[in-house]
Amino acid sequence: MSELKMMKALDVGAKEIEMDGVEGITIRWLISKDDGAPNFAMRLFEIAPGGHSPLHTHDWEHEVYIVDGSGELEFEGTRRPFEGGWFISVPPGREHQFINTGDGIMRFLCLVPNDSY
Amino acid sequence: MSELKMMKALDVGAKEIEMDGVEGITIRWLISKDDGAPNFAMRLFEIAPGGHSPLHTHDWEHEVYIVDGSGELEFEGTRRPFEGGWFISVPPGREHQFINTGDGIMRFLCLVPNDSY
């Protein structure tokens, strides 16, 4: 059943991600199937300074909004900088990696379709 | 065709929303079908102090993240406050309205499925 859900994002419990190629990342599932979301999920990630997501490819898209901090996107061999207030659309099937190159925590929303999780 | 898109959200052109029941709102389409987004769209809204979205109902969901400012959600007759750093999941078919009750611009992301636009 799908009900209204509204709260402070940082009050949602964070889970450490343990996966090959991942360093210093937590995930908070803000809105997902478990809340009755019909189509897509909103997650909040935090990457510690020097941390990174895996360099990987998958057949679903990411829609990303950088909330705080700064970093670089490794995308098919090229590094591209971003900071808070930027958004990133990563198409399906394209190699990518998020890297925190700043001094503080880098926070970003990453939304994915329901059939990816 | 779906390509990488990354840029500062405020560099995307804003359009005034002209619709019954709307006061002081602009929309920026950050990621949409036009960019090849396969499933859902990311939009950035700005509501001026005192402004509001329409009090309405529709058969798709909203996944919202409050970027800046503060306001209230009118939801089926009850007002609920929120501020920057909160998220809101509005299920399909439920009456809702976003109101800027603060002194500054209220900015929020609102994501919707592709079949809603």
Domain annotation covers residue A105: yes
Domain annotation covers residue B62: yes
From CA A14, how far away is CA A11, in angstroms rounded? 9
Domain annotation covers residue B18: yes
Please name which of A108, A44, A49, A100 lies closest in space to residue A72, comparing C-alpha atoms: A100
Domain annotation covers residue B81: yes
Q: What is the pLDDT along chain A (117 residues), one digit of tens a residue?
A: 579 999 999 999 999 999 999 999 999 999 999 999 999 999 999 999 999 999 999 999 999 999 999 999 999 999 999 999 999 999 999 999 999 999 999 999 999 999 999
Interface test with B, best of A10, A29, A35, A65 (most B CBs within 10 A): A65
Q: Which of B9, B36, B90 sits opposite A4 (nearest CB)?
A: B90
Domain annotation covers residue A7: no
User: Domain containing A75: what range?
Assistant: 19-116
From CA B52, how far away is CA B56, in angstroms rounded? 12
User: Per the structure, how many domains does chain A have?
Assistant: 1
Domain annotation covers residue B66: yes
- Cβ-based interface (< 8 Å): residues of A facing B: 2-10, 30-31, 35-40, 42, 60-61, 63, 65, 67, 73, 75, 80, 82, 85-92, 94, 109, 111, 113
**ipTM of predicted assembly, 2 dp:** 0.97
B49 three-state secondary structure: strand
Q: How far is CA B17 from CA A102, A106, B113, B114, in A?
A: 37, 32, 19, 19
Question: How many angstroms separate the CA of residue B23 from the nearest CA in chain A?
Answer: 23
Domain annotation covers residue A48: yes
Q: Other CB atoms closer than 10 Å to residue A88's CB: what's the count?
A: 23
Any idea what the CATH number is for the domain that residue A109 is in? 2.60.120.10
